[in-house]
Structure 1
Amino acid sequence: MIEDLNLFASQLVTLWVILEPISHLSMFLSATSHLDPQQRHKVAALSLCFAFLILLVFTLLGRMLLQAMGISILAFQISGGIILFFFAMTLIFVERPHRPISVNPDRSLATLAVYPVATPILAGPGAILAMVLFSDNNRGAPLSQHLLTLGVLMLMMSVLFVVFWLGDYIAKAIGESGASLLKRVMGILLAALSVNLVLNAFQKWLGLPEI
């Protein structure tokens, strides 16, 4: 029971800092700024369904794809940890001016939900990496741990849906300074998690004591 709770907390924190709801909310609002609230809600539902399916596919087939390409999971973990670390540094130190995402207003809602909202905004490299690593860590584990990982993903999609649904109210409530603070806190957590990924990979590779 305690092991399952630790696994749940670890995976939830990892996905939370990668899919940080407030940062993704600003990108979602930018991509759907030309829509009315009802259309925006429909795009939110569709995009989260598409993102869930994309991440589910990589959870189930990610390791097989790596094996087919001759890439070891440790190499993938090290490279992914380095990429996530640099991404975390941009969250902490880089102040990017807000630029609206260019979207053709004549596109259908389903097309808009697929791109750019579902991918690359939601199901981007960081989220795909996390789900592949989760599936590898669960390899040979009881079915309950696989279901737990699926539950974490569904929970994060539900949280994002609520945030997107209430997007206008949340953006007004926290303001730019609140969003900036949350982004930096998430960056610090993501930096620590990325370093832990790299250290764990080296620990397994070199047979060092557990960190």
Structure 2
Amino acid sequence: MIELYISAFITFFVVIDPPGCAPIYAGLTSGGGRAHVRAMATRAVLVATAILLVFALFGRNILGALGIGLDAFRIAGGILLFVIAMDMVFERRTARREERAEKIKETPEIEDVSIFPMAMPMIAGPGSIASAMLLTAQHPSWAETAVVLAAMLTILALTLLALLAAGPIMRVLGAKIEAVITRLLGVLLSALAAQFVIDGVKASFAG
């Protein structure tokens, strides 16, 4: 169970990337009141948590209703996570996040960024949704699912702390250190994604 928790923790940490969300959120909310910024951060994480819990708990039923096999989803999810990992390694993911943030900052009528883009797609994005569904599907017992959900909720709590402390985190990390961390996490995520694909292919041929 400890190994499962650590594995799920690392997966969600890499995909959700709390340190990477912090500077984006700081840029989006610069000049806002402290209470309003805290409220938006809390709302963003709560909405993202609800989305991820729905897919983690009912994702398998959703796949079944669509006629999609679990092995096919493992392979597709692994490929998706691998693409995200490549974007992290080559810094394309960060660039897109910053570009999206700049577009929203240029639109004065959009003040509340808690739902878009913070809750979706920055926190509860394709990668985190796929990870939640894959991990709970691979570990279907209630005890294992509870461990996966505990790891996910831990990362979401860390994400909330990162958003609330976005300003100080930016000053401590700096752009260069953040870029190094992002690349290292991308390499780790690529290995996890490859394992998802391997497991899916093995299960398909075994079946």
What per-residue deviation string (whole Å, max 9, x for no partner) do you get for residues 6-32 of structure 1? 110111111010011121112222332
* 1:133 and 2:130 are equivalent in the alignment: no
The code of the aligned residue for 1:26 comes to P
In structure 2, C-alpha distance between the alignment counterparts of 1:23 and 1:167, rounded to whole Å: 10
Structure 2, unmatched stretches of 5+, are none
The code of the aligned residue for 1:113 comes to S
Aligned to 1:172: 171
The code of the aligned residue for 2:115 comes to V
Shift of 1:108: 6.0
Query: Are the structure 2 counterparts of residues 31 and 9 from structure 1 closer, same or farther at C-alpha, using a change threshold of 3 Å?
Result: same
In structure 1, C-alpha distance between the alignment counterparts of 2:173 and 2:194, rounded to whole Å: 30
* 1:42 and 2:39 are equivalent in the alignment: yes
In structure 1, C-alpha distance between the alignment counterparts of 2:31 and 2:196, rounded to whole Å: 40
In structure 2, C-alpha distance between the alignment counterparts of 1:165 and 1:85, rounded to whole Å: 30
CA RMSD of aligned residues (A): 1.8
Paired residues of 1:34 and 1:105 also in contact (CA < 8 A): no
Structure 2 counterpart SS, 1:102: helix
TM-score in terms of structure 1 length? 0.88
Paired residues of 1:60 and 1:135 also in contact (CA < 8 A): yes
In structure 2, C-alpha distance between the alignment counterparts of 1:160 and 1:105, rounded to whole Å: 26
What per-residue deviation string (whole Å, max 9, x for no partner) do you get for residues 7-61 of structure 1? 1011111101001112111222233234222211111111101100000011111
* 1:203 and 2:205 are equivalent in the alignment: no
The code of the aligned residue for 2:168 comes to Y
| Deviating more after overlay: 27-36 vs 13-22 | 27-36
Aligned to 2:183: 184
In structure 2, C-alpha distance between the alignment counterparts of 1:64 and 1:131, rounded to whole Å: 14
Paired residues of 1:15 and 1:156 also in contact (CA < 8 A): yes
Alignment of 1:6-155 (within 5 A): 6-94=3-91, 96=95, 98-99=98-99, 100-103=102-105, 104-107=107-110, 109=112, 112-139=113-140, 141=141, 143-155=142-154
Shift of 1:161: 1.0
In structure 1, C-alpha distance between the alignment counterparts of 2:126 and 2:51, rounded to whole Å: 11
TM-score in terms of structure 2 length? 0.90
Aligned residues: 201
The code of the aligned residue for 1:82 comes to I
In structure 2, C-alpha distance between the alignment counterparts of 1:163 and 1:65, rounded to whole Å: 32
In structure 2, C-alpha distance between the alignment counterparts of 1:120 and 1:34, rounded to whole Å: 23
Kindly, what percent of the aligned residue pairs are identical?
26
Shift of 1:204: 1.5
